[in-house]
Chain A
Amino acid sequence: MADTAVVEHAEHYTATGLDNRKLAMWAFLGSECLLFGALISAYLLYRGRGIGTKPHNVYDIPYTSVSSFVLLMSSLTMVLALSALQRGYERKCRVWLTATAMLGVTFISGQVYEFTTFVHKGLSLTANPASSAFFVLTGFHGTHVTLGIIMLLSLVGLSLLGKIGPRNSLLVELVGLYWHFVDIVWIVIFTVVYLMPAPK
């Protein structure tokens, strides 16, 4: 039968009774909504504008659907990593964290390939306002995913050094919140940018 230990996070509690690091992460994610809100707005306002090849002329929906599925499943592996750590399974947590990072790498590799294909089809950063808005939006998202991968691999390293355990699972939870945020931003981008019918 498993022993039960109580894990306390009291050292970082504020007057609200909540951990200030988690509070700061949610405030940061709230501000990130504004950043991506502005970038998605710019894309929606410019997507039919300018001359030449537009982003919606070159989309490969089946390919991007697979990429979206990969990122969506990385959210599952991330939450399973946190769940494993909170239940005391450190090795399982490392496996799930590595799986999340690998799924992120797959997504980013797919985006690099997609960008290369688009450039070959005549869609570049400076081709027209629509393509500029598209590359800036998806590029910013890709940068966020890349930062997330670096954080995930750092967590794996810290776990191997024995610096992450059930007692400080909040660190994994914070990186998890960031990773899930990157996923929900892609949920919006995939629908609004890729699937939504383009203006005629």
Chain B
Amino acid sequence: MATEHAVEHAPGEHAHPGPGEYIRIAVILAVVTAIEVGAYYLSALSHQALAAILLVMMVVKFSLVVLWFMHLRFDSRLFRRLFVTGIILALAVYAIAFSTLIFVRHT
């Protein structure tokens, strides 16, 4: 019989979920991906509506993986801060590059 090991958690960390919850998250991810692809083929949607729907579903999938599979929901807040800082800086890079391109086009 296998030995159960209770992992000791660092301050601010909580117990990770079990396999059942991971499978439920994976099913949600698969369903959202199917909806994404379905939306892509819906000719009734305008480009703006399709882009908005796709972005929302992308954020949902991204968050589910980061919060559950990468355990950011259960681990220390410091890890969350490190990662979110990276994302904010990445978005800033895009904003700066995009603004520069618009500025160059208009001069």
Contact = CB atoms under 8 A, between A and B. Distances in A.
Interface of A: 2-9, 13, 16-19, 22-23, 26-27, 29-34, 36-38, 40-42, 44-45, 61-62, 65, 68-69, 72-73, 75-76, 78-80, 83-84, 86-89, 166-167, 169, 176-177, 180-181, 183-184, 187-188, 190-192, 195-197
B80 to A, nearest CB: 9
A80 B22 contact: yes
Interface of B: 1-8, 10-12, 16, 18-19, 22-23, 25-26, 29-30, 33, 36-37, 39-40, 47, 50-51, 54-55, 57-58, 61-62, 65-66, 68-70, 76, 78-79, 82-83, 85-87, 89-91, 93-94, 97-98, 101
B70 A180 contact: yes
Nearest to A173: B71
Contacts, number: 176
A19 B12 CA distance: 13
A177 B3 contact: no
B89 A33 contact: yes
B36 A191 contact: yes
Contact of B5 (A7, A41, A62, A79): A7
B16 A65 contact: no
A196 B58 CA distance: 11
Contact of A169 (B7, B51, B54, B101): B7
